[in-house]
Amino acid sequence: MATIFTALQDVHARIHAACTAAARNSGDVSLLAVSKTFPSCDIRELYEYGQRAFGENYAQELASKYQDLKDCTDLEWHFIGPIQSNKTRLIAESAAWVHTIDRFKIAERLSEQRPSHLAPLNICLQVNVSGESSKSGVAPSHLLELAQQVGHLPRLQIRGLMCIPEATENQALLAEQFATLVQLKEQLTAQGFTLDTLSMGMSNDLELAIASGSTLVRVGSAIFGARTYPLGSI
């Protein structure tokens, strides 16, 4: 019977195999365990197995787990969900990373509310690489403007870009959308930004994302199992 430990091992094996196939060093790709909706005890178990980076989608759930697991002093929280203006303080006080910046207003609030005793908040700018109206993310044509605005905020550090591609099994289309994010990172680098992170790839497409150049894959169900969302999710 599979356990959370064997599931974690399987995901690490997939990452290693994907890196080998792409002639990349497996140390260049980080695993973010997406723990949204799962209890703190599961996170603690994975922490004991060596996993350090965890991703949450809901601000209040993040803040609650942050308090629950404060004794895990090197645990690294990543916020990867849509951000509401009235929830920025919870995120600014709890997260080490935010992957979903697509508006200057939200970035400005996070910068203002980041406690001075904490290191600057690491952020990724989320790009809508599929062009779907239902998707969050800045349009590729507006990315440079947003990066320039956010780059002046004192309590944030732009580390890279993030995307959620179209939900499709069309591998060529997915590869094209991942390639778009890679090209945008190169364009920002040419403009003087120092970026080291491409947050792309999830449970179902991490191999293609790694082949495309991802440096961080966000994996939830392949580690924790299928989710059941409570009514009125936070």
pLDDT digits (tens, 9 = 90+) for 189-219: 999 999 999 999 999 999 999 999 999 999 9
Express as a percent the part of the chain with pLDDT over 90: 94
How far the first Cα of the chain sits from its last, in Å, is: 32
Q: Given pLDDT bands bounded at 50, 70 and 90, which one contains residue 57?
A: very high
Q: How far is CA 175 from CA 50, 66, 129, 199, in A?
A: 31, 35, 11, 14
Q: Which of 43, 51, 52 is nearest to 74 (CA)?
A: 52
pLDDT at 233: 46
Q: Is the pLDDT of residue 99 over 70?
A: yes
The DSSP bridge pattern shows strands 121-126 and 53-56 to be unpaired
81 against 133, higher pLDDT: 81
Q: Where are the domains of the chain?
A: 4-224
pLDDT at 83: 97
Average pLDDT, rounded, for the chain: 95
**Do residues 145 and 99 touch, judged by C-beta distance below 8 A?**
no
Q: Is the pLDDT of residue 166 over 80?
A: yes
Summarised one tens digit per residue, pLDDT across range 9-55 is: 999 999 999 999 999 999 999 999 999 999 999 999 999 999 999 99
| Over residues 153-164, mean pLDDT | 98
Q: Is the pLDDT of residue 133 over 50?
A: yes
In CATH, what class is 4-224?
A: alpha beta
Q: Is the pLDDT of residue 234 over 50?
A: no
Summarised one tens digit per residue, pLDDT across range 65-80 is: 999 999 999 999 999 9
